Amino acid sequence: MTPDDSAKTADIRELIPDVYVIPGGTNVGVIRVKDESGCALYLIDSGGSEKDARKIETILNAYFTDWHLRAVINTHSHADHSGGNAYFAEKTKCEIWMPYLEKGSVENTLLQPSLAWGGFPLPELRVSYYVPAHCEATRVIRDEECVELSDGKKIRFIALPGHYFEMLGVMCKTPDGKSVFYAGDAVFGKKFIAKFSIPFMFDVASFLDTLEKLRSIHADQYVPSHGDAVTRIDETAEMNQIAVLQTISCIMKILKKKPHTAEELLTEVANANGISMKLPQYVLIGSTLRSFLTSLYEKGRITYEIADNKMLWKAR
């Protein structure tokens, strides 16, 4: 396998021998295994749509000779990670590997926008950005499960809770000990977190625990799904921790002044962070903010009351 020109190499980057990343809005990992018919490929996530999948396919065709796709391995089920599954499954007959608690979201595709909206979603939310094309998972993957590939590479799945129901990171280690860790949305790249200071979180406490856990996961390269691959994860994890703690501080500062409904709080937090919300930000940040409220409530830092038919949150 030799790339024909520099334009092709710009679309895919080899991190260690036979282990790659296709940079994009959502990074896609590629693991190559040489076999008698050419090479077998495993993808880590599949992009956000059929259009993304076709672009990925074009890159693979340009870079690899006689390749076939064995499996798409999803870190989790969010549409920007699983939106290409259906295309690849139909076109290549590949397997779809997914964590158990994540597979429901690609088998019942209304779950994702319904969760974010808190009810049957608006038509503007029933689009590919929130709703992946329906695709059945063919294999359930679990925390600490290890798969040995035919060329001696080992893939190990590592639980990274917090961002969604059951996200798993993917560690790929070569026989000579080199390794790449695909971290999914457990951590966001420095430029991303600097621009989007309140990324989606389902369980804030677990998200913070996972950021701490990342520091103990050793690899030669770390690939967040949104951001650049890095050789050290601690600085990136720290930036994510700071962003979460700043949001907590912002919430507490607002609630110490007077009680707020969740919607009033969303407006105040957005204004404090210079965020001009449209529907996507309103829905995703609003859902994340309610997760922050649950976390702070469970820690005893805030409480609520129902008064005049409104749910009011206040600092303790």
Taking the alpha carbons of 214, 215, 218, 224 in that order, is the dihedral positive or negative?
positive
CB count in 10 Å sphere of residue 62: 15
* Average pLDDT value for the chain: 95
Residue in 178, 179, 273, 193 with CA at minimum distance from that of residue 225: 193
Tell me the residue ranges of DSSP E strands in the chain.
Answer: 13-16, 19-22, 28-35, 38-44, 67-73, 95-99, 139-141, 146-148, 154-159, 168-173, 179-184, 221-224, 302-307, 310-315
Residue % of the chain over a pLDDT of 90: 93
Domains of the chain (ranges plus CATH)?
Answer: 6-185 (3.60.15.10), 255-315 (1.10.10.10)
- The residues near 157 (Cβ < 8 Å, ≥ 6 apart) are 99, 141, 142, 143, 144, 145, 146, 168, 169, 170, 171
Q: Are residues 168 and 162 in contact, defined by beta-carbon separation less than 8 angstroms? A: no
Q: Give the confidence band of 9 by pLDDT, cuts at 50, 70, 90.
A: low
In tens, the pLDDT along 289-311 reads 999 999 999 999 999 999 999 99
148 has a pLDDT exceeding 50: yes
Checking if the pLDDT of 160 tops 50, the result is yes
Q: Is the pTM of this model over 0.75?
A: yes
- The tokens for 282 are 């309103």
> How many CB atoms sit inside 10 A of residue 305's CB?
10
Beta bridge partners of 38: 35
Q: What is the pLDDT of residue 35?
A: 86
Q: Is the backbone of residue 105 left (phi > 0), alpha (psi -120 to 50) or beta?
A: alpha
Per residue in 260-278, pLDDT tens? 999 999 999 999 999 999 9
Instruction: Say yes or no to pLDDT of 2 above 60.
Output: no
Distance CA 304, CA 306 (A): 7
Identify whether the C-beta of residue 53 lies closer than 8 Å to the C-beta of residue 46.
yes
Q: Confidence class of residue 39 from pLDDT cuts 50, 70 and 90? A: very high
Helix, coil or strand: residue 295: helix
Q: Is the separation of the CB atoms in 236 and 227 below 8 Å?
A: yes
High-pLDDT (> 70) share of the chain, %? 97
pLDDT of residue 73: 99
